[in-house]
Structure 1
């Protein structure tokens, strides 16, 4: 189930918040001497340095995975990190796996935020934009900022894709650019500014601890699918709609749309969106359809029809969103396709962000003194 290799760190290629990318020379298989690209999370395994021996999980590379095509550092056997300092926190993530880690949850008793979250159960009509793919995140932020550039956006990351938030260069760059106010990792996901047990407490922490005006809920990088109606990780988008509504939020459903994906099940409105919002979401959301040109416009009208029985289908104009998308501080990419290669995908996500921003109360002009 796991492909193991031992190697030596050759150099550090680059790093971002929570992650270090390495070149590692393999030592112990038929390709001994070959170099691989590897990723280490210093919070879990310590910080590798050139010359260190590392134990690698090379399963993703063996399988030829795109998003997760790194060898992952599991341990530095000759230079173990120091024991973490004693302190509060008893949430175990990656439970009973070899890399289970203890973190301080925003919602647990030892947290300084526990008093705030203990009885919290209301988002105060905060817009919650829900999407299937992680690639929607920067486009949603772009759409929000096109209307309300000062809005505080918090990313609530579910555990359907990558578990470490540190894996996401996108989230790190958005945070550095000021497009995100923070990240909350929920379920088995780990590494956010705040940790939470569930999407529900993740949303409450986003609102009441990080001061979010808008939350964006989606999985981390990577999307698991099986070409079946129900066997895909994005089904959790429907559950996120339910969570937002249960807490008094305003759910905004970003549709997964494409006119570039070669797979029929993802052309127009993806079957992922139709299942998640049409079957799993049990309460009404604002389902956002971008104003696009023919022939895609007619296809979207037909595709979205089954969702009208439960949801509020809102058509959103897209003027100005091209500039907003091109101003993103990260490269836009979905399934290996960039902005111009799968324009409709990013436009749909940006339209959802624009709509969410229109749901915010008007800003109050600052008081001036003569």
Structure 2
């Protein structure tokens, strides 16, 4: 289940908040590794490290790192911070954090009776790669709007893995990150998507929340076996808390798998079968036969949701202004423009909902 290796740190490649990328020598040669200093301390060149090389051996795209489990000869000091929420529970790396919603939190009084998002728009998307293009569409129409990212636990658990989230935070495009469920490392922690959304509204004072899983996702090629099913549950959470759900479509012209070409079956299942609360579904006005395909597929969601046509003129230019590199499933803007336009269309529609 786990491939273990001992290695020695050769060099530090780069770092961003919460993460350090390393080159490490192992018996097979040299490999790229990732360490989370808040968990294991900061490795330095010459340090011996204990590695989990499972994802690296499997050749996973998003998770193609050896992960530093420990720096055994230089352990970090014991944490002294507050908090009793345990995340990554009952694993060797379970960590204690303070939840915004727990009793000892300075935000507990504010969240204890909180029960409404007060009509805050909540944009829900399947993939983490939708986060930046959604923001591009939103800020193109409403610069300065205050946005919080609520990260589900279907992909990476530590938000530190996401260089995009860190850069968007630094660029001022995110007011904060709330990690929910088993995900951790955000500006705020919360037990559920529900309290995560309430924290986004009442603690971070967001005008808009975006909900997606962390980087990476799990799919099996079956109707129900994919982590993005949680997008439908996020729509329900937004609806029951009296928010305004906006269900961003996962659209691709670059993915030639039939189940993902046009509107992905992930969107059709999550929004068409799982989401019981009605949402607004932005349908990008894409040209040609592909655009017709997208509109026809989206009609399957009209039974419960309101389909809203969204023009895409000017959105490519907005996408090109992104402060982070745009990429989904290894494809950039040129390779899958439709994906990024559909995500940006969700941001553009949401901007129109703001007073």
TM range (shorter): over 0.9
- CA drift at 1:323: 1.1
Is 1:257 the counterpart of 2:251 in the alignment?
Answer: yes
Distance between the aligned counterparts of 1:25 and 1:300, measured in 2?
48
Instruction: Find the partner of 1:327 among 321, 328, 339.
Output: 321
Residues paired across the two proteins, number = 355
- CA drift at 1:195: 0.3
Distance between the aligned counterparts of 2:168 and 2:2, measured in 1?
33
Q: Deviations over 1:191-224 (max 9, x none)?
A: 0000000000000000100010100000000010
Distance between the aligned counterparts of 1:344 and 1:158, measured in 2?
24
Distance between the aligned counterparts of 2:6 and 2:351, measured in 1?
49
Is 1:208 the counterpart of 2:208 in the alignment?
Answer: no
- CA drift at 1:301: 2.0
Unaligned runs of at least 5 residues, structure 1: 362-370
Is 1:178 the counterpart of 2:163 in the alignment?
Answer: no
Instruction: Determine the structure 1 residue equivalent to 2:96.
Output: 102
| Higher-Rg member (1/2) | 1
SS of residue in 1 equivalent to 2:288? coil
Runs of 4 or more above 4 Å deviation: none
Instruction: Determine the structure 2 residue equivalent to 1:84.
Output: 79
Instruction: Find the partner of 1:191 among 185, 194, 200.
Output: 185
Distance between the aligned counterparts of 1:317 and 1:298, measured in 2?
14
Q: Deviations over 1:180-201 (max 9, x none)?
A: 1110000000000000000000
Instruction: Find the partner of 1:67 among 38, 62, 65.
Output: 62
Is 1:297 the counterpart of 2:286 in the alignment?
Answer: no
Instruction: Find the partner of 2:222 among 205, 228, 235.
Output: 228
- CA drift at 1:88: 2.2
SS of residue in 2 equivalent to 1:341? coil
- How large is the RMSD of aligned CA atoms in angstroms? 0.6
Q: TM-score, normalised by structure 1?
A: 0.95
Instruction: Determine the structure 2 residue equivalent to 1:16.
Output: 16
Instruction: Determine the structure 2 residue equivalent to 1:286.
Output: 280
- CA drift at 1:298: 1.1
- CA drift at 1:340: 1.1
Distance between the aligned counterparts of 2:8 and 2:294, measured in 1?
52
SS of residue in 1 equivalent to 2:259? helix
Distance between the aligned counterparts of 1:309 and 1:360, measured in 2?
25
Q: Deviations over 1:3-36 (max 9, x none)?
A: 0000000111000010000010114xxx2xx110
Q: Deviations over 1:129-153 (max 9, x none)?
A: 0000000000000011011111011
Q: TM-score, normalised by structure 2?
A: 0.99
Q: Deviations over 1:46-68 (max 9, x none)?
A: 11011100000000010000000
Q: Deviations over 1:314-341 (max 9, x none)?
A: 0011122111100001110000000111
SS of residue in 1 equivalent to 2:96? strand
Instruction: Determine the structure 2 residue equivalent to 1:364.
Output: none
Distance between the aligned counterparts of 1:59 and 1:243, measured in 2?
34
Distance between the aligned counterparts of 2:296 and 2:139, measured in 1?
30
Instruction: Determine the structure 1 residue equivalent to 2:302.
Output: 308
Distance between the aligned counterparts of 1:211 and 1:301, measured in 2?
35
Instruction: Determine the structure 2 residue equivalent to 1:53.
Output: 48
Instruction: Find the partner of 2:143 among 114, 130, 149.
Output: 149
Instruction: Find the partner of 1:115 among 109, 115, 125.
Output: 109
SS of residue in 2 equivalent to 1:245? helix
Unaligned runs of at least 5 residues, structure 2: none
